[in-house]
Structures are given as C-alpha cells and as structure tokens.
Amino acid sequence: MADERTRYFRRLGKLRRSARRWSVLAGGLGGATAILTPYAGIGLGDAAWAAAAGATTALAAWRWSDLRALAARPAPPALDPVQAAARSRARLVAAVQRLPAGAGVVAEVRRVRSRSALRGTTAAGPWERLDRAASTLVSMAGRVTGLAEPAVAEAAAAEQSLRDLANRVASVERAVDLAPADARPPLAEAHQALTGQLEDGVTAYERLVVAAAGYLAEEYRPETEHPAAARLTEATDLLHGFASALSELRAGNRPATP
C-alpha cells in the first residue's frame, strides 16, 4: 500500500494522461466532423460525429479542470523512513498472519525476539518461566470456562503487564551498568525493587496456571468410568464370548475317536 505522497503523484499523472487522451480524441472527432459533414449534408451519421465530438470535448475539459484542481493542492510531505519501515513491517506481518499457520509463526518470532532482548539480564529467567506458564495456559484456552473464565481473562492482562515489567527490569539493569558511580546506588535500588516485583508476579502467575489446571481436571473428571472405556470393555467381553462359543462349537462337532 503506497503512502499519501505516492498516491498523490500517481493520481496526478493519471489525470494528466486522461486529459491528454480525451483532448486528442476530441480534436480528432471535431476535425472529422468539420471535414466530413459538408460532403453529404447533415444526416444521422453527421449527428453522431457531432455528438461524439461534443462529448469528448466536454470530458477533456472536465479532466483538465480536475487536473488543475489537484495540481493546486500541495503535495503531502514525504514519509519518514522510520514510519515507512514500520508500515512495511506491519504489512508483512499482516500478510504472514493471513496464512494458515501464520499467526503461530508471528507469535513465535516475537517470543524469540523478546527472549533475545532480555538475554544476559536478571529478567531472562522470570521471562522464560512466564513464557512457559503462558503457553500452558494458552493450551487450556477454550476449556477453562464457567466460573474460571474471568480469571483467565485477568491472567491475559497480567501476562502483558509482567512482560512489560521484565523489559523495564532489563532497561534499568543496562542503565546501572552505564551510569557513573555516584548515580548507581539509586538505580540499583530501583532495579532490585523491580526484580522483586517481577519474581512475585511470575510466581503468582504460575500459581494461577496451576489452579486453572486443577480446575480443568476437576471439572472434567468423571465420577464413574469413562463412557469410551466402558464401551471398549463391553466390546472386549463380547469378543471373548464369541471366541468361547466358537471353541465350544468346534469341540462339539469334532467326531469321537473309537
């Protein structure tokens, strides 16, 4: 998808070509009408020539008018390279997500990029724990319903908040390494506090995932034998009965030896 400036000049060129084309056509039809009409008098064919010449002349005038109006408008400013790159990246991501497995690929690429950005910091460990817990919760999505559904929705918001907190921890940690000696103590204290919040948040998230798994197990645990297992047991007993009956029939039909 082109930016506003590209679309502006593209439309300007299209109008200019259209105006020239209709002008040439109007001139040709007008000249043909002026030359051919006197030869045989004014008839039905001459009326058609004149109508075509008039219509093309009007269309040419409208196209030139549209061209002048568009050219009078200032061209949109050129798009910033950063914005252009962001738009191109967004279009690429949207195109990949439309593929059958595109959404999963994009999510995996984003996870790998986030993990790489936190590598070497104290936030890397909690982030990996959070990622494993979030993947486990996603695998249970759609099955944790009923009373537990609001808790799952809250977990999604908490996950994003914890990921943002992990990025802040990594940023503060890098700032501590770059700060002069007299400015390091406040940053180190803030980093320690943020790290503690991240650890507590990830631990609470893991407990929520465990609780969701327990809820799912209790909700789907039957009080009696599973119907599929019961049917398989009945089929097995039936086959054993058939086998025993066939064995007895063969034994009864076997001729007695003298």
For the chain, what is the domain count?
2
242 or 171, which is more confident? 171
**Is residue 91 included in any domain, yes or no?**
no
Contact by Cβ (8 Å): 52, 22: no
Rounded Cα gap, residues 246 and 9, in angstroms: 89
Residue 189 confidence (pLDDT): 87
Q: Which structural domain range is residue 192 located in?
A: 109-220
Is 247 part of any domain?
no
Domain assignment present for residue 256? The answer is: no
Classify residue 223 by its DSSP letter: S
Same-domain check for residues 136 and 57: no
| 114 shares a domain with 68 | no
Q: Could you identify the residue written with the tokens 């086998």?
A: 243
Q: Predicted confidence band at 148 (pLDDT cuts at 50, 70, 90)? A: low
The verdict on 140 and 54 lying in the same domain is: no
> What is the CB-side half-sphere exposure of residue 246 using CA atoms within 13 A?
6
φ/ψ (deg, to 5) at 191: -65, -40
- Per-residue confidence band for 242, with pLDDT thresholds at 50, 70 and 90: low
> Could you say which DSSP state residue 101 is in?
T
Q: Answer yes or no: do 35 and 114 share one domain.
A: no
Is residue 246 included in any domain, yes or no?
no
| 237 Rama class: left (phi>0) / alpha (psi -120 to 50) / beta | alpha
Same domain, yes or no, for 122 and 198?
yes
The arithmetic mean of pLDDT across residues 173-189, rounded, is: 82
